[in-house]
Amino acid sequence: MIGLLTENFNLYYELVNLFKKRNLPFISLTFENEIPSNVDVIITSPSEENKINFDKVVSCPPDSNLNNAIDKAILLLYGGEELIFGIDPGKNIGIAIFSNERLIRSFVVTTPEDAAYQIKQFFKYSGMEKARIKIGNGARIIRNRIINLLQNSRIKIEIVDENEVASVKDDEKAAMHIAMMEGKEVFGKMDVKPREGEIREMQRISRIKSKNITISKELAKKVLIGEISLEKAIEMQKNHV
């Protein structure tokens, strides 16, 4: 069980809301009472940390991401030596994080850059020595962009066959399934050069997005490799016309 022990009302209020939002059990503690035997990890503020005589304590620095503190507490609760990240690449990128075969958190991002940033930050904050990334084999360019951004000597990357999760429409749930599957390890930089079919598909999407504008092949290539956004490409095409 995770205990919340702080007299900082704002911090306590924000933590409680996050625990409820994530549907995680917790117990509220006070400095006047003994820590119950069922409490395994305590979350508090940096100024109160030294007042707590307990083995596993996580402090929340000012203006920090409180979800990270909760994640760290869960990691201390479950243990484990390796983080497993499941990634479902696509227009919306599902990410699921496991430790010791237990789900720590799942969420969705919209760009390969954001996916890589979130994973790097989580890995750094976790304090763990190694991690394994399992990424679905769909959405080739998005998949390969993520892989290229995440290559690290302490991170093993595997590509997983998505066929078994093709019917799963929820991006987070698909990422959870991918995290539990066996994959083929990849090494070195991956190819992100757009293919003709991918370029045509991006042009088709631009027509749908803009209602009537088809971006050029060159702009479609730039969108596919992440150089510009689709919205920017549509605006550039509109001005060019």
The domain spans of the chain are 2-78, 82-185, 196-240
Kindly give the pairing relationship between strand 82-88 and strand 130-136: parallel
Model-level pTM? 0.82
Using CB atoms within 10 Å of the CB of residue 13, give its burial: 0 to 12 exposed, 13 to 18 middle, 19+ buried: exposed
pLDDT one-digit tens code per residue, 48-100: 999 999 999 999 988 888 988 898 899 888 877 789 999 999 889 999 999 88
- Higher local confidence (pLDDT), 176 or 167: 176
Q: Domain 82-185, CATH 3.40.50.11390 — does that match?
A: no
- CATH classification code of 2-78: 3.40.50.2300
Phi, psi of 168, deg, nearest 5: -85, 110
Tokens describing residue 32:
């006047």
pLDDT at 164: 72
Please state, in angstroms and rounded to a whole number, the distance separating the CA atoms of residues 115 and 120: 9
Instruction: List all residues 6 or more positions away from 93 whose beta carbon is below 8 Å from its beta carbon.
Output: 87, 108, 109, 110, 111, 112, 114, 115, 142, 146, 171
Residue 113 has pLDDT above 90, yes or no: yes
Q: What is the pLDDT of residues 178-224, one digit of tens each?
A: 999 999 999 889 999 999 998 999 999 999 988 889 999 999 999 89
Q: Residue 180 gets which letter from DSSP?
A: T
